Amino acid sequence: MAATLSDKLVVAISSRALFDFEEENRLFEAGDEEAYMRRQLELVHQPARPGIAFSLVRKLLDFNTAEAQRVEVVMLSRNDPASGMRVFASAKAAGMRIERGVFTRGRNPFSYLRPLGAHLFLSANEADVREALSIGFPAARVMTDATPAGDRYPREVRIAFDGDAVLFSDEAERVYQDGGLPAFLQHEVSLAATPLAGGPFKPLLAALHRLQQQADASQMRIRTALVTARSAPAHERAVRTLLDWGIAVDEAMFLGGLDKGPFLREFEPDFFFDDQTGHVSSAARHVPAGHVSAGIANAPPANTQEIQ
């Protein structure tokens, strides 16, 4: 009988998101692929330093026990197969059981998310993230210069999400972009009892909810937060949407446009996801953060033609 990942939370992650390969990556970006590969082979027995998503991955893997393997982490990388040896060696040295990987030697790896059935794809490559989102997979570009996660909650996976265009669709954001705050508030108040459609990260939130229900909370648990620029009265539709989905978050912050960074610093997530680059940059000064290039805020500018 063939092995299957259908009963697990599946995280696909690039080597630069999991480990600090920024120095080596400069060789790759300079176009010297052979020098990059040689350097990785030279360092194959030298474990790489943790990357920005390291804490998140390590804690998720801690949900696995001898009796039940509930989380699968798969390397999905533009690295060449030879360089992939250092990735696996670094994971082993860190005590991470990562056994599967796809290495594409510079080619786009995102299409392999389909056979993996991934619930999350983390990469430092913006183009791969956009493509993954376009085919329906939760994905974020890891800010490799972000602040690493703290260590105050070793038995708790802490994840924070923005609302519109991340957990929820960008319906309300489109109204805001078109008509400003008054139109947004009127729209959300009038539709307070109508649940928002799911956004790109709803599948991840649902998978985390299932994982928490399956796991022994005395060993590892998940704590989630909704961190949104919404404020009252627009908060109601967001709360009612989560109730309609049957998925609870542990904390909700309705900040009304306040800088999210200081609030995330206090929550101390292992990762924060947002579609707005300004919020991601603010968050990255305090916590691990990723940009979700989805929704109207990330749409390419419309082509314009000069009027003759």
Domain 156-297 coded CATH 3.40.50.1000: yes
Class at the top of the CATH hierarchy for domain 9-142: alpha beta
What whole-number distance in Å separates Cα of residue 128 and Cα of residue 95? Answer: 28
- For 11, half-sphere exposure in the C-beta direction (CA atoms, 13 angstrom radius) is 27
pLDDT at residue 46 greater than cutoff 90: no
pLDDT at residue 305 greater than cutoff 60: no
pLDDT reported for residue 41: 81
pLDDT reported for residue 260: 97
Pick the residue with more confidence: 300 or 304?
A: 300
- Contact, 104 vs 77, CB < 8 A? yes
pLDDT at residue 61 greater than cutoff 70: yes
Nearest to 121 by CA among 212, 53, 168, 63: 53
pLDDT reported for residue 304: 40
pLDDT at residue 307 greater than cutoff 50: no
Pick the residue with more confidence: 217 or 199?
A: 199
Per DSSP, the chain holds a count of helices (H) and strands (E) of 12, 10
Domain boundaries, the chain: 9-142, 156-297
What whole-number distance in Å separates Cα of residue 13 and Cα of residue 306? Answer: 43
**pLDDT tens, position by position, 20-38:** 887 776 766 666 677 777 7
83-87, 169-173, 268-272, 300-304: the lowest-pLDDT one: 300-304
Average pLDDT score over the chain: 92
pLDDT at residue 192 greater than cutoff 70: yes
Same fold, 9-142 and 156-297: yes
- Contact, 12 vs 118, CB < 8 A? yes
pLDDT reported for residue 43: 79
% pLDDT > 90, the chain: 77
Rounded average pLDDT over 27-52:
79
pTM of this prediction exceeds 0.75: yes
Give the pairing of strands 100-103 and 289-291: unpaired
What whole-number distance in Å separates Cα of residue 193 and Cα of residue 189? Answer: 9
Catalytically active residues are 162
Rounded average pLDDT over 242-259:
96
